[in-house]
Amino acid sequence: MFVGCSGWRYWKWRDSFYADVPQPGWFGHYSNAFDTVEINASFYSWPTVANVQAWRRQSRDREFVYTVKVCELITHVKRFKGTKTLIRDFGIIADILGQQMGCFLFQLPPSYHYTKPRLNSIVSQLDPARRNVVEFRHKSWWNEEVYRAFKKAGIIFCSCSEKAPPATQ
C-alpha cells in the first residue's frame, strides 16, 4: 500500500508541513513522509521528457510511485473524442518512469454524464498495457454496466472523496 497526497507543492503548507524547509527541499521532505504522489501539473500542460526525467531523479533511489493525472486536452477539451493517439503519446511517461509509474488518472468533468457510446469510447481508447484509473464526477457513471466494462478491460474505477456526492447535472 502506498500513501500520499494529490500534489506536494502547496504554498499553504510552507508554514506547517514545510516549516523550516527551504523550497528546493520540499520534495525530499515530502518523500520522507510519503511514498507516492499524484502529479497534477500534467493536467494543465503536457509534460516534456525533461519534466518526467526530473520527477524520476528527484525521488532518488527511494521506492516512490507517481500517479500522473492525464492532460485536460484528453479529458476536458476533447472528452475522449478521437484521442487514442494522444493517449498513446501520453503513455510514454510510463516508459520513462519505469518502476516508479503507478497509474494514469483520467479525471472527467462533472458535466460529463454517462452514455453507452461514451463508455465504449473510453474503454476502446485506453491502453490495456497501462494501469488506467478513471475518475467520474457525475453520479450517472456509478452503475453496473460501467463496473462490468471496467472489470473486463482492467480499468480501475476511482471514487472521488468529497464532502458532497458527485454532481447530478
Residue-wise pLDDT tens digits, 1-54: 889 999 999 999 999 999 999 999 999 999 999 999 999 999 999 999 999 999
Q: Which residues contact 136 (CB under 8 A, 6 or more apart)?
A: 108, 112, 114, 142, 146, 157, 158, 166
Give all strands (DSSP E) within the chain, no chain letters.
Answer: 4-5, 36-39, 65-69, 101-107, 132-135, 156-158
Average pLDDT estimate for 94-107: 95
Name beta bridge partners: 167: 138
- Nearest CA to 114 among 150, 138, 144? 138
Q: Which domains does the chain have, with CATH numbers?
A: 35-158 (3.20.20.410)
What does the alpha-carbon distance between residue 118 and residue 163 come to, in Å, rounded to a whole number? 27
What does the alpha-carbon distance between residue 37 and residue 33 come to, in Å, rounded to a whole number? 11
Res 164: pLDDT = 55
pLDDT by residue (tens digit) across 69-78? 999 999 999 9
Residue 134 has pLDDT above 70, yes or no: yes
Res 159: pLDDT = 82
